[in-house]
Structure 1
């Protein structure tokens, strides 16, 4: 058992001159003989002396602050006698008063404050100001609290004083007022921090509680709970409104807290409740826009919305559309392609059906779609073997139009330009000769008008588009290739000597579309001429050349004379 000796303290020394005994005094004070707010330091010293003379314990004293304690120097506590901590609560604010001595003015003082409930789980450290230190009690429960004061001297924390106080919470209160027509703002004050929910049932006194709604208030950073009531949800009733407040605790128990009432006058509600109507996402060149209808604080709750739109005389292209509710607004999409593709000024009448059953029509603004254009439409058609017709529709300008065409094979080495002809209103077409191009697969088609590009398109060309299926020659042989490229060549007995007897012209000068004949070898060789630079420089499409069993331009530009071509068979 430890036995503590009696210590006599002068009135000029603080209780903190005892390194551990001061904490004993503080703990014993809170557990048994709590110091009143008016107790002087001298009286506290005498009480600690008395406690120390009579207390025996075998337990080690554990200080509140685990940092090592040292004695305060005499110069640091000069003029400290009879200075005590006092407090004053004003609503949700607690003021702690402590008059520093001259020696303490430049030293750090901190207050440790915690409730007696659940140990020190709500312990807070507050830096003291020169005299008055204010602490917010918004997040503090009612009950008994301890306050310990510490001063820092040469990096060491020294205990000064300990007091206990009772903290009360102000009674809950509520304010309700109209800040904007059709809106009732409610604020609830002094709700205990251990509350889980704040519920606010509100109703007008017209027809009892037929319009009662339960609202959930939201907690703000200052501890106030607030909510906004739309009077349209209460039929814009005037007269007295009742407002009650209930709280829910952690066990889900609901408790009545307070209530109030407010008088709603005619000037607090809109004289002509109507929604906001706006135009959105206007794309005049594409002939599209949206009509949006919003509920506002000054409009009645909406059940449904319909929009009538037209642009032609006598409403010839009138269309009714029902709005869809998306993200809190009613939307209708208008597209001139659905209204006879008419480019003009569009009228929009909005008809709103409210939840009370009433239906009101509103005229929205006129939308200028005179510049609206249909999107360009590209299409292809196999007119006959070797001829593909390309068509471009919805061309609004009247300048000459051209198509640039080339196959995907070897870049643009077979690029050809074709002049288009106007076949109908806003429609142009051109015939593409496949024998002017190479291979099958993807072909590129670019449209130009007045030197400006209108669009880039593509088409797929197959063997059956280029070549007739009436080909009995072995696939891959040169005769098969020539027949595919030039279907007119006929049967084998027309190669080449019999060709003249069959009515075909023959000669020794190259011509595009003609069959070039190499007589050398056991079987000879044939190809179709596709391009001519001169009689000594041509290009051909052929098969069974250098092991290639498909049709292609394998030679590029070459000299037919030196390569062995002796005869050309010309088409009719």
Structure 2
């Protein structure tokens, strides 16, 4: 965030007037000089802070400034920071101590601005980050106004600052200001697409842009207050991207275009129809996205061009491997270009080269026949016969592309033919691999020589007739032996009839121990030869031994299951060492809970126990409610879990409880099983005889639930009352917890402001919540809220008002009182204008009306004359902590400093105390009001209710009559 503009002296005006005309962006033969200002000061002035992510603006400013400055230096600029950044080698114009001294004298911005002007750079950039709730995006600021220069065009414009205050602008800006605006345009262009939105470019008199003689801008790079955005802004790679875009804008501004370079492009391994491209000695002044290499042969122009991304090698070289089959097997000259691509997507030519790919052997492989069989069971075969390979050539293989004429070549598949004993080559085509298309299929055969060249041998076609829907089948389901606690199940020779599609094969597996309690459904993986295979680990089945059942189901594309085969396998007993337990005892069910205790657990030597896990489920709807608990070890060596039936859908009847030991290798061993009966709950019901609603008064009404009866065996957790108006459905529904009264009644107070001040019918329902979390409706009722209860005519304390500094100043000056010189003496430097400004800033921070707070302070202090037990030196503007027995109350000067900060904290405490009365919302700034938590939150949302005698609930700030009206009388004098 940026600070508000500072006042300037006549000397400053003279120096800047002279400087702007004398140094209008001087054109120098030397390298441009750039000054980067990291906004705020790490360790002294954090700027905006995100209390959720703990990210501070000053840290972000410093990190971005360092990265930007170092990138500028690396490409030849003369660059300075205004003050040091830890870990950055870039020189600074000021020491940290000098900037701190500027803060001590409330002149830090002037100190920085003077240092920039003394260096007389060609460009200055001030880096900041914004704050504003969940707002998102970046902004750029420039100033047409240059501290009083060219006064004929200078004018005020209100509303450019967050508090509504004016800024100085200039209709006829000097050259440095014009160049500043040009630079923001370059920033707009180069920041586009960075990942957060562009918000605006703003003309305003921020201090650095308005008080420096060179072209200068201020960048608000994003919102620290936005949790997600603050994390992005703190990311090192994102900061580097920002810095690259700032540097690109500076290069554009000065017309400087630094280039990446490479030493050479060389070629290796030009053989077997491939070659490697090696790019050596790459250097880049900017962040690199990659190096891309277009390659093409000179045959038929660039018809075979292909763009490759080079891979970085361990030694810093970049490498591309080119296969000429990707270029139509062209021979002769190949052209190679290399381009660097930066993170903004810009391309820069690095180097060009070429390489000669020699002609291949002129001989040709041939075949005399390509025969295609009839279609049977959704398959056909293609056989290539009498293949001849000329001397001096080698045959790598024969590949056969096959496709149907339905929708062109969308189903094309390339098969590798298998060599037969007689020298023929053969492929088997399954039409399910071609979308089960029917009609004409094209079959081509290509020889692939050892150099990777393709040669057409023969072509053929076959008609695939329409099929009748049949059944998916498999000829075999083979289960392997058990080894290392695993076995495999393989489904072979799967046939899918024409017109059907196979979605997959699923294989349920379970042991015969305890029925199907360990069943697990596996999806089989298709193998290269068409088989389907699953691997089963017995630890996923409780390490059960004995017979395992294995079933295989085909799932067609319509989602139907078809049984294929069944099999079984014997899992032998493992190592005889086994963890055991002698007892599993389950308690009775009480208050919706029961416990399971595993006792006398024995772990054999050489084994380790990782823990005991206990799956529990009711017999209602199978295992749909199963939950695995980890048992806790007790002092006596037992293991225990507590089960709450609400975690099992409050099912009643039989619950199954199994206990498994988990050894240190992760294997599960069954220990014991048990069960328990959960009886039906007590049929009794919590009731209430009455639900009465009071009349609406002062925007409130109460709902009282009387004669509440809780049956024996049940417990009442509380009574909750949802309330909503019939305006726009339930958009304003709010659930209240009723408070128990001395006589056993339950009561809630409803404030219609919490329901959007809707009028008309309100619905009020009352629910009992028992100790198991179940809701029972007690009573319902409606109430009418008339129009006059809409708090009309009352003066809200909440809201960012439109009052301006000059209005508050006029109010004070028209009171007949002189503003105390005490606030301007001894370095405090707070005059009436600054005093009013502080009220507006602090009020806006908490969404409290500044005119209410200012008027209250005038009433409490007698227009800052004080006179009671609170003295002017305390900076306590509302008598916080002062009592009738003479207690002087809080001293913000003593706690926060006898300076502007202490004055600000006194104002902040008063405004936070107002917010405590007016709202239930949390504070936005850190709490400095020591009495904040003593207030009943939200009890006085209106100024009129600050007096206890006028507050309908008897709460309030002051006991005197018409306290709030006295504040309003002062507010009414604001014009």
TM-score by length of 1: 0.30
Rg larger in structure:
1
TM-score by length of 2: 0.19
Higher relative contact order (CA 8 A, sep 6+): 1
Q: Which has the higher helix share?
A: 2
Q: Which has the higher strand share?
A: 1
